[in-house]
Structure 1
């Protein structure tokens, strides 16, 4: 059975088929929810017609929806219309797929369930071990404990996972700098950051040469391309300067500091999740569009660096790694759903 998986977020839509083709596109759901159907139709036109579409989502949290239930309903409605007459199923945190009518009846089971699909699929790589899945994306970080390859998360909803530290609302691309720290070292003093979205985590890793420049990527804080020069300008603006007032070396110093602070945030949450596990992890799986950041954190960790470490991005094509949750639901549905 040929299946297409969709992971519909508030800022990106990720798609993958059960054969391993994948595509990710930026889509500001919170700005234009009425365009979701047409955007999905255009995205799906790059694939052959599927026998089934499997969906997971995080976009229900977008502030264009008054409640998560409304978000789930509207996302499913747009998706049903976009894929009709192909049947549609939805992943839920009980580790199974639901038809759309049941998903609407129990929206909190399917809301923000993409992490669970990913952990269920990747967990089979360590079927006889306890481990950790560290997935760092553009916006958030998921830290998922695994027991014999099965996710055993303490929390299931977003707020439960925030409280358990299994969800950290920071990522390798979209996080505003002022959400990483409120001040930075600058000219021998501590300078407060402007509480604006002048620059994001993407700019840190561009300037530090840990992320690749892309002249065609305008999904940045100011809409200018994702280049090192533009990252320098955006970081300067974060302390209310321009490049005539702040040297590149000063911007690099700020970037180093904020990158370290972001990694500390993730590391603190990682330690809390590991400490709560009944048996120490023997393996670590790393994935996500910011897997380079996950690798830095794990390789520097005094305990986890000694485990068996698998970088999923080195096993699959980069497009699959970036759309891993969509690929996960496509593969799981191909195995589990009968139509």
Structure 2
């Protein structure tokens, strides 16, 4: 057995023998486009990545022992907002950033209103800066952080960067390339404690994207630190189990023995595939779908048939099932192709696979079909943390990391 549940809960920061954080190497930082210097002209590639909190690796710290108050982790995405105290409660709410950016401050206050005690520390990560309501990611980082500061004027705000540390919001603004899209790194840093030896892999399939993060000796080790670089290296696959339009999953499907092009329209999403198979539960009151009709299997059938310019009068259930199977196979192949690129970089046998995200069922299916992954031990953050926390795992990880480090 490679893990200890108490270590997963404790979340001790990882350092090398000299006390330096191992989350990002100088080599990785020098590979980030645009990462030249801070406002003082100092190189950011060689900056020390040490922490401000001493620790003992032989004990588990509680919040009281660390002498900090209420800490809340915030994961601010382009479509959802998630918050967690890292202990008892993790919550999320839909928030289409591109439509409601002006409401972000009030939305954050509303999201965190369930915590009645004063919030002493806010730990922030984000992906919402990519929303096209912002001209650049730097603008997005700035406006999101301003909304956080306005929402929590009496709280200390710290921001996670992909160099593996929390920084002041002003420093986060100074170096947006390390601040943008950093939530995957926070989760990988937290999840890495599951396997502290040799090679392991985090597979996080969410609603929109898939992260494939190599972890070596308990430290995230990726080829890229930005989303662009991770896309190029197969470490980020822009496909998930809810929001991905089906025309982005495949150009054509094989139906009734005929290669059939898909309509390049937002008729249906991957959520409809898994509503049909039963791997995602129906939510009749949820109308966040391509046609604004309920998230049910019956309505999913209508949406699915539209992807080949048809309807339920022309296509029966067996035809819909064939369509769904073809599209799921295409999505699996997208992820498998990227996964094989990441696996090729391992320097030894894969010891563990860590599953995260609501698409864990899909990740497990893909892993089961790759021979070289069969000997690896398998762990589920959903099982280790519970369903509540697993839906907002990045926010949960942030709260834990902040409690330990700030």
- CA–CA distance in structure 2, aligned partners of residues 20 and 297 of structure 1: 32
Question: Which of 224, 243, 246 is the equivalent residue of 2:315?
Answer: 246
Question: Which of 96, 100, 115 is the equivalent residue of 1:47?
Answer: 115
* Residue pairs, 1:117-266, within 5 angstroms: 117-266=186-335
SS in 2 for 1:279: coil
1:22 corresponds in structure 2 to 90
CA deviation digits over 1:119-157, x for unaligned, max 9? 000101111231000000000000000011100111000
SS in 1 for 2:342: helix
Residue 293 of structure 1 pairs with residue 362 of structure 2: yes
- CA–CA distance in structure 2, aligned partners of residues 73 and 200 of structure 1: 31
- The offset of 1:306, in angstroms, is 1.9
- CA–CA distance in structure 2, aligned partners of residues 219 and 188 of structure 1: 33
SS in 1 for 2:75: strand
- The offset of 1:107, in angstroms, is 0.5
1:9 corresponds in structure 2 to 77
CA deviation digits over 1:152-177, x for unaligned, max 9? 11100011000110000001111110
SS in 2 for 1:310: strand
Q: Which runs of 5+ in 2 are unaligned?
A: 1-67
- CA–CA distance in structure 2, aligned partners of residues 325 and 57 of structure 1: 10
- CA–CA distance in structure 1, aligned partners of residues 131 and 374 of structure 2: 36
Report if aligned partners of 1:138, 1:174 keep a CA contact under 8 Å in 2. yes
Instruction: Compute the RMSD of aligned alpha carbons.
Output: 1.0
CA deviation digits over 1:199-257, x for unaligned, max 9? 00000011011111111222211111111101111001111112112112111111111
CA deviation digits over 1:22-70, x for unaligned, max 9? 1111110011210111111110111233221101000001111000000
- CA–CA distance in structure 1, aligned partners of residues 267 and 325 of structure 2: 17
- CA–CA distance in structure 1, aligned partners of residues 366 and 179 of structure 2: 30
- CA–CA distance in structure 1, aligned partners of residues 285 and 184 of structure 2: 29
Q: Which runs of 5+ in 1 are unaligned?
A: none
TM-score by length of 1: 0.97
Paired residues, number:
337
Q: Rg bigger for which structure? A: 2
- The offset of 1:189, in angstroms, is 1.3
- The offset of 1:293, in angstroms, is 1.1
Report if aligned partners of 2:199, 2:347 keep a CA contact under 8 Å in 1. no
1:106 corresponds in structure 2 to 175
Report if aligned partners of 1:6, 1:16 keep a CA contact under 8 Å in 2. yes
CA deviation digits over 1:250-286, x for unaligned, max 9? 1111111111110111011111001012223211100
Q: Which runs of 4+ in 1 moved over 6 A?
A: none
